[in-house]
């Protein structure tokens, strides 16, 4: 099982480590916090039968490794006291001050709230409130990350079903958090621990494969380091060099993607070179490329263009000794501190007398996005899903024609870019160019794209944009605009779009709805109340209620859990223009949703001068079908799509 160090150091060893980077650290206050926590947790045991105090001490130890500040370290010792003991937040504030009590409060108080739903939703709600609380001070999340790391190190002591749930939550929420904070080593350890619990058999196989090739890799690593050191010395470049093999989870992902043996994997060896100034980073890169042939397309300059979490470094992959692919990372000491300690590196600057605030750090910008999401989504489950989609997913970088770089989540469209530039650009957008080619606003972007947003004089965002917008900034701005339109316009739009959704689902039309049923479910499950049917149509028309939510209310009665069946044959009819590549574009949309195309018919209407294309798919959920129809409607040349039912002679 992966583990970098013992679960907890002796208190005096932790204090020694802290004072090495915090000379003015108040060790007596820290000891006092330890005594306070130990007394409060007296008699309590962990699942492995160890005294409970082991956990907060281990949490503080993790934060000491990250060079955390004094208040954070003390709060780590006390973080479970209010939840698990008779001591209160008021007791902590009285003894250790407001800053410490605020941090502790952010970790513990929220889990005491009672929820009427199951445990999973209770935990989701706690996480939601924790994240909102952390917007005031991201150190709350840092303590939670350290707390989670120790819990993951000792996860083997809890029952198997809980292991799986906690590991999955860690992988989806806490690993991305660590990455956002720039804490790469902590993220790697969490990833390996998740890998161990979620895929135990695969983990065992990777460990075995690495053990077999480790001696060879270590020998090659040593030779590579010696050669680079020798050349740097010749060029009088001061640098520290270290080397290692990739994390187990990274190797597993590479094995899975390539179907290769570990000995033939690319970039298993990683070399890090830390030099004294940016100019020497580029000189060192030149030396590395002189010694070893670089691999085409494997160079990344994160110094000129830092990652969204502030990370800076040069990355290149070369053919090393015996042709083994080796990644070389080159950075300065300051960049290394940023990479190692992430957002906490701000405290280094503070200790050196500079006035730098945590909330000014680019890595803390995501907390503002949390507040944006909270304005849009009040449902806890949807809040977490939006959080994962808008903040925790991989990022891409696209460019405006002027060369400005804009950071967006992977899967973002031209709509998201328009609103990222400015709300008015988004509202007035009517088209786009990507790399010089005219494309729809719904086009998905990728890193390196140069995008020009075309605008008109009128503000006219469309309701369907909500189905293609990835970021919550874009979604919120669109909804805000639509909500300001007249009630009559919203009712008209809401009726049309809801009729379309209900027809696709095979339910009927708005007039056929059992409104009392909708009222009841929306109030009980979504905390929304509509007095009249028109109120519901207004909500649909302004985008605050999704039409598919209404359709699913009735589909659930017929087929539980939104399932049409294990797999159902579904037919659709597309009214479209005659153009080269249209059928290919339609089937490409189906491929994106992993749908099996099992039937195609087409005929031409001379009267309408348009083609009718009928397609059949195997579909396992209505949600997927609904998304398919929305995306197909945006294909160039498509005039409309309707679902064809068996009794309509598909």
CB-hemisphere CA count at 13 Å for 240? 7
511 vs 514: CA distance, rounded Å: 9
Residue 364 has pLDDT above 60, yes or no: no
Q: What pLDDT score was predicted for residue 360? A: 53
Beta-carbon neighbour count of residue 622 at 10 Å?
Answer: 23
Q: Three-state SS for 160?
A: helix
pLDDT tens across 479-522, in order?
A: 999 988 899 999 999 999 999 888 888 888 888 888 888 888 88
Where do runs of H (alpha helix) occur along 300-453? 333-341, 345-351, 366-376, 380-387, 414-421, 423-428
pLDDT tens across 545-593, in order?
A: 989 989 888 887 665 444 444 668 889 999 998 888 888 889 888 888 8
Q: What pLDDT score was predicted for residue 29? A: 95
Q: What pLDDT score was predicted for residue 60? A: 94
Q: What pLDDT score was predicted for residue 355? A: 45
> Averaging pLDDT over each range in 3-7, 15-19, 264-268, 565-569, which range is the top one?
15-19
The stretch 97-117 carries a mean pLDDT of 66
Q: What pLDDT score was predicted for residue 7? A: 41
Q: Which residues pair with 568 in a beta bridge?
A: 619
Least confident span in 10-14, 266-270, 423-427: 266-270
Joined together, the tokens standing for residue 340 give: 């190692």
Q: What pLDDT score was predicted for residue 21? A: 85
Residue 565 or 197, more confident: 197
Joined together, the tokens standing for residue 181 give: 């904070």
The stretch 122-147 carries a mean pLDDT of 71
- How many residues make up the chain in this entry? 650
pLDDT > 90: percent of the chain:
34
Q: What pLDDT score was predicted for residue 115? A: 31
Average pLDDT taken over every residue of the chain = 81
Joined together, the tokens standing for residue 90 give: 């008021």
Least confident span in 114-118, 145-149, 489-493, 569-573: 114-118
pLDDT tens across 181-191, in order?
A: 778 788 888 98
Residue 328 has pLDDT above 90, yes or no: yes
Q: What pLDDT score was predicted for residue 212? A: 65
The stretch 166-195 carries a mean pLDDT of 83
Q: How far is CA 42 from the centre of its chain?
A: 39
Instruction: Please report, for residues 1, 13, 61, 234, the alpha-carbon distance to residue 33 in angstroms, rounded to integers and kept in the order given.
Output: 32, 16, 14, 52
Q: What pLDDT score was predicted for residue 261? A: 53
Q: Are 132 and 369 in contact (CB under 8 A)?
A: no
Q: Three-state SS for 642?
A: strand
**Residue in the structure block whose two tokens are 């498509």:** 638
pLDDT tens across 426-452, in order?
A: 999 999 999 989 999 999 998 778 899
Q: Which residues pair with 603 in a beta bridge?
A: 612
Q: Helix axis angle, 119-134 relative to 366-376, nearest 10°?
A: 130
612 vs 574: CA distance, rounded Å: 6
Cα radius of gyration rounded to whole Å, the chain: 28
pLDDT > 70: percent of the chain:
78
Q: What pLDDT score was predicted for residue 322? A: 83
Q: What pLDDT score was predicted for residue 356? A: 45
**DSSP per-residue letters across 202-261:** HHHHHHHHHHHHHHHHHHHHHHHHHHHHHHHHHTT--EEEEEEEPPHHHHHHHHHHH---
Instruction: Please report, for residues 340, 364, 366, 520, the alpha-carbon distance to residue 177 in angstroms, rounded to integers and kept in the order given.
Output: 15, 11, 10, 37
74 vs 53: CA distance, rounded Å: 13
Joined together, the tokens standing for residue 390 give: 């808008």
**Residue in the structure block whose two tokens are 């077999």:** 212
φ and ψ of 640, to 5 deg: 175, 155
Q: How far is CA 248 from the centre of its chain?
A: 21
Active-site annotation holder among 10, 13, 48, 83:
83
Local confidence band at 622 (pLDDT 50, 70, 90 cut-offs) = confident
**Residue in the structure block whose two tokens are 């086009």:** 443
Least confident span in 124-133, 530-539, 591-600: 124-133
Q: What pLDDT score was predicted for residue 566? A: 60
Known catalytic membership, residue 83: yes
Q: What pLDDT score was predicted for residue 199? A: 84
Residue 618 has pLDDT above 50, yes or no: yes
pTM for the predicted model, two decimal places: 0.60
Known catalytic membership, residue 301: no
Beta-carbon neighbour count of residue 83 at 10 Å?
Answer: 13
> Strand locations in 147-221, DSSP E?
none
Instruction: Please report, for residues 183, 364, 617, the alpha-carbon distance to residue 190 in angstroms, rounded to integers and kept in the order given.
Output: 11, 21, 40
Residue 481 or 337, more confident: 481
Q: What pLDDT score was predicted for residue 390? A: 58
Q: What pLDDT score was predicted for residue 432? A: 94
Closest to 178 measured CA to CA, from 368, 383, 363, 447:
363
Residue 368 has pLDDT above 80, yes or no: no
Q: What pLDDT score was predicted for residue 365? A: 57
Active-site annotation holder among 26, 48, 84, 636:
84
609 vs 220: CA distance, rounded Å: 68
Closest to 544 measured CA to CA, from 552, 536, 555:
536
Q: Which residues pair with 331 in a beta bridge?
A: 274
Residue 565 or 226, more confident: 226
Local confidence band at 332 (pLDDT 50, 70, 90 cut-offs) = very high
Q: What pLDDT score was predicted for residue 112? A: 41
Q: What pLDDT score was predicted for residue 125? A: 59
**Non-local CB neighbours of 376 within 8 Å, separated by 6+ positions:** 386, 472, 475, 476, 479
Q: What pLDDT score was predicted for residue 524? A: 83
**DSSP per-residue letters across 120-133:** HHHHHHHHHHHHHH
Q: Three-state SS for 398?
A: strand
Residue 247 has pLDDT above 60, yes or no: yes
Q: Are 277 and 332 in contact (CB under 8 A)?
A: yes
Residue 235 has pLDDT above 90, yes or no: yes
Q: Are 245 and 217 in contact (CB under 8 A)?
A: yes
5 vs 197: CA distance, rounded Å: 19
């Amino acid at each position: 099982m992966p583990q970098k160090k013992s679960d907890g150091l002796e208190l005096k060893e932790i204090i020694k480590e802290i004072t090495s980077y915090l000379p003015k650290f108040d060790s007596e206050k820290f000891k006092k916090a330890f005594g306070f926590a130990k007394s409060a947790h007296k008699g309590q045991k962990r699942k492995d039968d160890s005294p409970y105090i082991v956990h907060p001490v281990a949490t503080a130890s993790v934060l000491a490794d990250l060079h955390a500040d004094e208040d954070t370290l003390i709060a780590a010792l006390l973080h479970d006291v209010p939840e698990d003991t008779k001591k209160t937040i008021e007791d902590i504030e009285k003894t250790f001050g407001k800053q410490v009590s605020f941090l502790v409060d952010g970790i513990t108080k929220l889990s005491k709230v009672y929820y009427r739903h199951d445990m999973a939703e209770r935990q989701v709600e706690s996480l939601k409130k924790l994240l909102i609380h952390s917007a005031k001070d991201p150190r709350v999340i840092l303590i939670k990350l350290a707390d989670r790391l120790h819990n993951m190190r000792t996860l083997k002591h809890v029952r198997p079903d809980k292991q799986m749930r906690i590991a999955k939550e860690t992988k989806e929420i806490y690993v991305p958090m660590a990455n956002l904070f720039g804490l790469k080593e902590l993220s790697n350890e969490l990833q390996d621990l998740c890998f161990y619990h979620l895929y135990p058999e695969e983990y065992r196989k990777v460990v075995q494969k690495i053990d077999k090739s480790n001696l060879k890799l270590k020998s090659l690593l040593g030779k590579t380091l010696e050669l680079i050191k020798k050349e740097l010395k010749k060029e009088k470049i001061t640098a520290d060099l270290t080397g290692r093999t990739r994390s187990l989870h990274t190797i597993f992902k590479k094995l899975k993607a390539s179907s290769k043996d570990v000995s033939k994997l690319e970039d298993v060896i990683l070399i890090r070179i830390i030099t004294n100034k940016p100019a020497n980073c580029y000189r060192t890169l030149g030396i590395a490329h002189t010694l070893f042939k670089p691999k085409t397309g494997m160079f990344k300059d994160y110094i000129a263009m830092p990652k969204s979490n502030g990370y800076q470094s040069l990355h290149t992959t070369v053919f090393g000794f015996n042709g083994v692919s080796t990644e070389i990372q080159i950075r300065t000491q300051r960049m290394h501190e940023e990479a190692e300690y992430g957002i906490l590196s701000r405290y280094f600057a503070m200790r050196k007398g500079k006035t730098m605030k945590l909330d000014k750090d680019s890595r803390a910008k995501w907390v503002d996005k949390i507040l944006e999401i909270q304005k849009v989504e009040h449902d806890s489950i949807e809040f977490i899903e939006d959080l994962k989609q808008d903040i925790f997913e991989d990022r891409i970088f696209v460019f405006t024609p002027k060369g400005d770089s804009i950071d967006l989540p992977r899967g973002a469209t031209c709509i998201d870019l328009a609103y990222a530039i400015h709300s008015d650009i988004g509202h007035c957008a009517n088209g786009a160019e990507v790399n010089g080619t005219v494309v729809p606003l719904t086009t998905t972007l990728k890193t390196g794209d140069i995008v020009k947003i075309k605008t008109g004089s009128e503000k006219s965002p469309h309701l369907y944009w909500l189905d293609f917008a990835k970021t919550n900034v874009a979604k919120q701005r669109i909804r805000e605009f639509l909500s300001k339109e007249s009630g009559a316009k919203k009712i008209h739009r809401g009726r049309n779009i809801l009729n379309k959704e209900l027809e696709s689902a095979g339910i009927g039309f708005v007039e056929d709805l059992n409104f009392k049923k909708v009222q009841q479910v929306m109030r009980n499950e979504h905390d929304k109340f509509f007095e009249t049917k028109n109120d519901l149509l207004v909500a649909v028309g302004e985008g605050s209620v999704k039409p598919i939510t209404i359709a699913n209310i009735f589909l659930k009665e017929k087929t539980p859990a939104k399932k049409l069946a294990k797999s159902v044959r579904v037919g659709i009819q597309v009214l479209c223009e005659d153009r080269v590549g249209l059928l290919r574009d339609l089937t490409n949309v189906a491929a994106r949703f992993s749908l099996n195309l099992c039937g195609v018919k087409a005929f031409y209407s001379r009267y309408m001068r348009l083609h009718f294309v009928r397609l059949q798919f195997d579909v396992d959920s209505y949600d997927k079908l609904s998304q398919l129809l929305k995306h197909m409607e945006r294909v160039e040349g498509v005039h409309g799509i309707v679902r064809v039912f068996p009794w309509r002679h598909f």
